[in-house]
Structure 1
């Protein structure tokens, strides 16, 4: 530390990683990101009056009015200092983290709903939105940065929240966003192909997920999916309570699938038969994970199942939009990985009638893992009667380049039933036009999102709203 303020040091009132927000009483953290390096903005932060700069490398020119703290990892230091600055709020609540490729949002959202129904004040940190009881706070990342995260947890504690349920992304673990937090428990849903654009290899992605379980305290629990081939790996070296849930084999929490129909799931969970409003085998796993988590948090099993049976899923997760005139069923789902898309299409296959055709609209995001693009197109082509490949959030990539990569995955035998339409609105319009009364139209990839990101601009776009507009426009 280079401290030029004397033995007491400066008075700190604010923490920030944005140099534009720096000022007197501020600690500025210079983080090395994938796109920018915070060290390049140290001079700007100092110019604006930052009291302290935390960095991995001292600038050439140091200001006598600023304290510089040299650390090995600025992100890790920020997380630890943020937890301390806000008084370690996670230690005063039951904080549960959910990680995995798919199912995080559904599990976190439904746990929040469940515990609210059970009479608790609860917080939610998810991809869709953050919540303090019923108060909605906009969400920009699956897991917020460490400063924002600890500030939200402190806000939740001040609102008397006793339980907080949060999604923990692989990025969050690697980037130390959850470092310094005290978790009451962790849940693993599943692991499949995703985020290799960031992690590089599947092993690195797996290691990131495993890193979350490695940080769980001895007083906490780790609940993992026994039917996922990486489920047991997540529990290795966990010092606290280790539990498994399963539909097919061994586990402390087990369920049997009795029926998967358009009206919902019928499960037998630990000897109790329960009807749920959610659809699909993947949701059977989500429900079992939610049930196990609630029981591990000390709730009565019968009461949990009673309340859970009446709950709905998170927005944009297998969300139906039905045409009143022709009974065409639109399904909007966030499926943006091969595994998620396959799960959704398999669920539709399980509940469809022989006379119903399935038309799938799907795209892949720009500036993300390109290896999954041909796989997504192949699945859409093979598991649908018709498929329309389209733009998702192209970001800074050319949508036509993304679509060209997707097209390489379409089998030769399926080329005749696949269309490529770059304009997402036109793609949805075409799918609805192709649909006959009673058919199923799946709009995959964006789910709850109400925008389409093109060249840094988020344009208004809501799949559900566009679907309704096309039903009306086409008289369907």
Structure 2
């Protein structure tokens, strides 16, 4: 049971409660309402609505001017932290009943967490997954809405997992989730750091703050946990500086506890040597070599045998929207990838270029999201136009921004020698269609940015949009 530090209490603390909420609209009779200050909305503005809806207790950082008789008011320093601890206690601290592993970093979180789920299922365990793409309670699937859900949602799913006999859960841990204290009150058996590159600077004030927020996840691990970090990333060792957890490293280039070497890198897979053993995997590219090594290291720390892990690695299938590809009848290869950061886009393009013979063209379709970090737009455009034969700039999820202006921000990053390579088509489906029309036999089309997403968000409205489904249909329609 976690203790929540209280500054003041008004009313009776022995009341029986029904549910805990931080959204006043969900509050009903005898519920607790936690007034959290969000990035857009302050829960303190909705305390009155919560009491009108039947809240029996209010947790807040500042008491309202008028209090309601019969309602208990609890004043705390940090409502976000209080919410996380209350959520853990309310659901019986379910993270203590299984082995929870958090994966954090800019790129690779979804792939590593999802493939660890696959691997441990193959090993015969009941497994849970909390990821950007989906939530899995052993074999039961639920829709994911955030990379790292809110504290109540996390604990409710962990409770479900514990009740179902799940032994291991693999969870993506985002910088937003760490900063907003969503992972407080959780007992992690281990943490994994993938890499750090330019992302979320619309939310964090600087790259240093983004890095330090990631680091706090490792700072909070217990001495009984393990911390695994990528030492080929210049921030890898920073993550381990203050952790109490047992430290382990992995790398392709530098000395590390877990070391791998790429022997072959082709469109149909990777041949790796991991700790002296060769293993063929269905995944592609240098970035996936890192992902597979992180998976291997995690599985070793969780007690699986080396020979079993290697066998399961060879059986793993790629994650939806992560270097997902289709080959048309005329041998055009179309690749869909979630690459939405400069580093991820560079990794994917360099992987494709390292495999292709250069006799074929690489046509990239890419956009940048609206209402997000604007500084990465010209950087991504520069990378795409430098590493591709042709580039089509288009819409991603414009959200509330004008897609034309987003594309104009991107175009500013194109070097003069690459101008002729580029064109701009605002409509994403038309951009994909144009790429298919331009492609000839053996050419490669990369559609970057949205990956697994099956929607496009414009002015607050989501419409069906699936890059992989669309490019597959267009290649068939065009008889390519």
TM over 0.5: yes
Structure 1 Cα separation of the partners of residues 30 and 165 of structure 2: 29
Deviation at 1:308, TM superposition (A): 1.1
Q: For residues 47 and 103 of structure 2, what CA distance do their matches in structure 1 show?
A: 35
1:63 aligns with 2:68: yes
- Partners of 2:138 and 2:253 in 1: CA distance: 35
**3-state SS of 2:375 partner:** helix
Write the distance in 1 (CA, Å) between the matches of 2:467 and 2:113.
Answer: 23
Q: Which residue of 1 aligns with 2:37?
A: 32
Check conservation: 1:263, 1:277, Cα contact below 8 A.
yes
In structure 2, the residue matched to 1:394 is 398
2:9 paired with 1:2: yes
Q: Deviations over 1:39-58 (max 9, x none)?
A: 11111111001111111111
2-side partners of 1:61 and 1:186: how far apart?
44
1:180-219 matches, cutoff 5 A: 180-219=185-224
Could you give the per-residue CA deviations for residues 33-78 of structure 1, whole angstroms, max 9, x where no partner exists?
1111111111111100111111111111211121111111111000
- When structure 1 is superposed on structure 2, of 146-155 and 62-71 the one drifting more is 62-71
RMSD value, Cα: 0.9
Within 2, Cα distance between the matches of 1:156 and 1:443?
Answer: 36
Match of residue 257, structure 1, among 249, 253, 262: 262
* Cα deviations by residue, 1:85-112 (Å, 9 ceiling, x for unpaired): 1111101111000000000000000000
Measure how far apart 1:353 and its partner are.
2.3
Alignment of 1:464 with 2:468, yes or no, is: yes
* Secondary structure at the counterpart of residue 164 of structure 1: strand
Residue of structure 2 in register with 1:290 after alignment: 295
CA distance in 2, matches of 1:316, 1:65: 52
Shift of 1:474: 2.1
**Distance (Å, rounded) in 2 between the aligned partners of 1:201 and 1:320:** 35
Q: 1:77 aligns with which of 70, 76, 82?
A: 82
Deviation of residue 322 (structure 1)?
A: 1.9
Q: Once the 2 structures are TM-superposed, how far is the Cα of residue 23 of structure 1 from its aligned partner?
A: 1.3
Q: 2:134 aligns with which of 107, 129, 134?
A: 129
Alignment partner of 1:109 is 2:114: yes
Matched, 1:273 2:291: no
Aligned residue in 1 for 2:3: none
**For residues 318 and 333 of structure 2, what CA distance do their matches in structure 1 show?**
17
The equivalent of 2:316 in structure 1 is 311
1:434-449 equivalences under 5 Å are 434-449=438-453
Tell me by how many angstroms 1:132 deviates. 1.1
Paired with 2:45 and 2:324, the residues of 1 have a C-alpha distance of 44
Kindly report which structure 2 residues correspond to 1:34-433, keeping only aligned pairs within 5 A, or say none: 34-323=39-328, 325-433=329-437
Contact 1:23 1:51 in 2 (8 A): no
Which ranges in structure 2 are unaligned for 5 or more consecutive residues?
A: 1-7
Secondary structure of the residue that 1:119 maps to in structure 2?
Answer: coil
Query: 1:205 offset after TM fit, Å?
Result: 0.1
Which whole-Å CA distance do the structure 2 matches of 1:51 and 1:3 have between them?
A: 12
SS in structure 1 of the partner of residue 262 of structure 2 = strand
Q: CA deviation at 1:447?
A: 0.3
Distance 1:229 1:350 in 2: 23
Q: CA deviation at 1:166?
A: 0.3
Deviation of the 1:469 alpha carbon: 2.2
Name the SS of the counterpart of 2:170 in structure 1. strand
Give, in whole Å, the separation in 2 of the partners of 1:16 and 1:321. 44
Deviations 1:145-174 (A, max 9, x none): 001100010001011000000000000111
Moved more, 33-42 or 285-294: 33-42
If the length of structure 2 is used for normalisation, what is the TM-score? 0.97
SS in 2 for 1:107: helix
Task: Please tell me whether the aligned partners of residues 3 and 9 of structure 1 are also in contact (alpha carbons under 8 angstroms).
Answer: no
- Normalised by the length of structure 1, the TM-score is 0.98
Report how many residues are paired: 473
Offset at residue 179 of structure 1 (A): 0.4
Which consecutive unaligned segments of at least 5 residues does structure 1 have?
A: none
**Counterpart in 1 of 2:4?**
none
In structure 1, what is the equivalent of residue 5 of structure 2?
none
What secondary structure, in the 3-state scheme, does the structure 1 residue paired with 2:270 have?
strand
Whole-angstrom CA distance in 2 between matches of 1:37 and 1:456: 21
> 1:90-140 CA deviation, whole Å, 9 max, x = no partner?
011110000000000000000000000001000000000010122111000
Alpha-carbon distance in structure 2 between the residues aligned to 1:322 and 1:41: 53
Please give the alpha-carbon distance, in whole angstroms, between the structure 2 residues aligned to 1:454 and 1:354.
37
Distance 1:82 1:317 in 2: 33
Q: Which residue of 2 aligns with 1:473?
A: 477
Alignment partner of 2:217: what SS?
helix
Distance 1:391 1:52 in 2: 45
